Structure 1
């Protein structure tokens, strides 16, 4: 709201334009003297008075208090909805252009909630294109703008920031952000179901990557219990997609496939192309786990084509690691190696987990081709990358592969050292980070 002097001048201008006297404007609720005092800027009018005057002057409360036509805010909010749809159905870099224009407009109009929404959209665009520094910056700025808002309103910004760190290979810090937010909701009696499902869903992936399967399963259980209270279908679909990962970790492939089918159906109805691509990706992974390699290749190629069309660089890289593994298992080593070679450039800190996965697969291919020296080189590179990320489960498996290779080459002591390293990662507390797991919300899900 503007200062009383500005509001007073605006009331006087609108009254004069409409040919009203102070008495005509004031009656029947106020006096001409009150209108005179208000127009001179000597009193701060109440919301009730301003709404009355707005009605008498034929304008909106927002325009009277800020000088900003209400239609501008409405048009901006409609534009944000269009940009969100553009991100879901088109290319992220094109949606980002739209979001940047809307952010400039929101800043000019001093509309803070709309500024935050535009920044969240820009963060999501940056995640898709792999610009993780930009993504973190946008989410942090959105969080700053929403700093006075309750924690549930900041959940999307927190979740986005955590995903940016996760994709950069910083699993522990991603868990820290999400666990802290969940604990904050529990401690403040702000256990908003949608915010909690968003955060529980986001923390499942890093838990599994770090080998904390019990925590992942507990987060999935709580998210499923809260799902009936969630009205956003896309959020429910995302939950089913991540819950499928916990089913896979438990060997429940049929349950995982059913969960993915539910998510896929929702995404198809909503035309959320990136999320639909993720479902194809995970269904390919399920087929690969069941040694159904031909349908696995088909699903993964579908996911890759969809993500490539949206220029979702980092997500495409993740799918290509899975696809290369399927090609390797089909005996198509040349195709797999060619696919993986382009991913090795991701070891600069953006996508270290995926670059580590690529080196691991190239090591397996080298072993299968009878080149133990090349295999060892790739395994060691993968070890360095995965140690930076804290991906305990992948590290333990990699140490087993490297240890076996060294043992077969007669380097028993070196092999024992590597095995111990792997056991150390596998035996690390069932945890991730920082202590006890997040608190259960202060209400009983039903």
Structure 2
């Protein structure tokens, strides 16, 4: 039986509708019930059966659902269709337009007490906020969605939890993002809630924080589990996202052809689905892949394609992150002046709370460019700023490499003791990679 309001509310609703239609209690009861029964029902002193409500609904000319819950007939179905439209707007259009749609739908769902639809709208608003770069608002929306779904099984709550973790990750809070994702994975696997879609979403999402923390072994294992579970997943967008994440671990292992193939699968799916932000992310990753492989012209073309898509979508934070990668390629191609200009512009949009890892990468590259120009003082300033950002984020692998670069700079300028301190700091981060500081790995899925 569908969820219904309490007898008092139903009674008042029946009385209002009967009065609006000019019917007496006797006329409403005709054919099956007595006027006394209708009077008792309207007073809220009896809980009407479904059969009684269906009879009264027919006499009043309204749908049973509307009489029992106060919601217009097919409201939930209509809302779900419009939520799908909003999702399409976000995928193919822009976050601002989608956010407007989601806000209207959220208000309607709240007005009629539709928690599932409220949660879906909140998830959409969270994704819009992430795309616009408003990480605090995004995190709040995902938290609100989790509260709406508090009574649901964990697999139903995973998209909201994952969204919250991504917001923390983008803010540079790598360890907490890992904690959220690993906790959910552990609970799903230990309690037997082996929902393939939920697991693939979590495994694909935890790869990025693992890689940035230097926990490459865990990233590789997460990719292995995601690939094994993917055939059981029906959502092509989720499969595409998984392939994009997995490509990063393949590239780290030197499996360039496999990484490129994985990105190719993802890009083709995103083209078919017309999901432009994720398609931009595929171009971004392909640019990174070509750069790592020394194919700098191809890398620049891919990254500029990603930048153009993201600028068109006004995805400011993602655009800034791509520009950092593009600047690196431009510098390596001898276009250091253009690269430095891009980086200075980007640093206005990045901070320790908003894209900390990429902000550190921008400072690191500006330091390298300054070193090339023999401006050691400016180079040191950028390296120290980058180290501060990476320490806050817990990006151990990048931090160790940066300590080495700073040490080399200090040694060349004759500050041997300071250089030794920088090297020691770097060695400390090398000997405590993320795999040993994250705690026990989450339980494995049954494969």
How many angstroms apart in 2 are the aligned matches of 1:192 and 1:381? 43
Question: In the alignment, what sits opposite 2:29?
Answer: 22
Query: Residue 347 of structure 1 aligns to a residue in which SS?
Result: coil
Question: In the alignment, what sits opposite 2:83?
Answer: 80
| Alpha-carbon distance change, 57 to 231 in structure 1, aligned in 2, over 3 angstroms | farther
Q: CA deviation at 1:25?
A: 4.0
Q: CA deviation at 1:168?
A: 0.5
How many angstroms apart in 2 are the aligned matches of 1:254 and 1:134? 39
| TM norm structure 2 | 0.93
Contact 1:353 1:389 in 2 (8 A): yes
2:362 is matched with which residue: 358, 372, 376? 358
Query: Residue 314 of structure 2 aligns to a residue in which SS?
Result: coil
Q: Does 1:289 align with 2:292?
A: yes
Q: Does 1:327 align with 2:334?
A: no
Contact 1:22 1:36 in 2 (8 A): no
Q: CA deviation at 1:374?
A: 1.7
Query: Residue 438 of structure 1 aligns to a residue in which SS?
Result: coil
Contact 1:284 1:298 in 2 (8 A): yes
How many angstroms apart in 1 are the aligned matches of 2:173 and 2:364? 19
Contact 2:213 2:433 in 1 (8 A): no
Q: Does 1:377 align with 2:381?
A: yes
Contact 2:29 2:38 in 1 (8 A): yes
Question: In the alignment, what sits opposite 1:156?
Answer: 159
Contact 1:267 1:276 in 2 (8 A): yes
Q: CA deviation at 1:160?
A: 0.6
Q: Does 1:173 align with 2:180?
A: no
How many angstroms apart in 2 are the aligned matches of 1:421 and 1:46? 73
Contact 2:396 2:434 in 1 (8 A): no
How many angstroms apart in 2 are the aligned matches of 1:276 and 1:234? 11
- Name stretches of at least 5 consecutive residues in structure 1 with no aligned partner: none
How many angstroms apart in 2 are the aligned matches of 1:39 and 1:70? 22
- Name stretches of at least 5 consecutive residues in structure 2 with no aligned partner: none
Query: Which runs of structure 2 are paired with 1:43-122 in the superposition (5 Å)?
Result: 43-47=46-50, 50=53, 54=57, 59-122=62-125
How many angstroms apart in 1 are the aligned matches of 2:70 and 2:379? 69
How many angstroms apart in 1 are the aligned matches of 2:30 and 2:295? 83
Deviations 1:54-102 (A, max 9, x none): 5676643321211221233333222211111110011111211111121
How many angstroms apart in 1 are the aligned matches of 2:236 and 2:45? 51
Question: In the alignment, what sits opposite 2:237?
Answer: 234
How many angstroms apart in 2 are the aligned matches of 1:333 and 1:48? 77
Contact 1:172 1:433 in 2 (8 A): no
Q: Does 1:414 align with 2:418?
A: yes
RMSD: 2.1
Aligned residues: 439
Question: In the alignment, what sits opposite 2:127?
Answer: 124
How many angstroms apart in 2 are the aligned matches of 1:432 and 1:152? 28
Q: CA deviation at 1:182?
A: 1.1
Q: Which moves more between the two structures, 321-330 or 111-120? A: 111-120
Contact 2:396 2:433 in 1 (8 A): no
Q: Does 1:403 align with 2:407?
A: yes
| TM norm structure 1 | 0.93
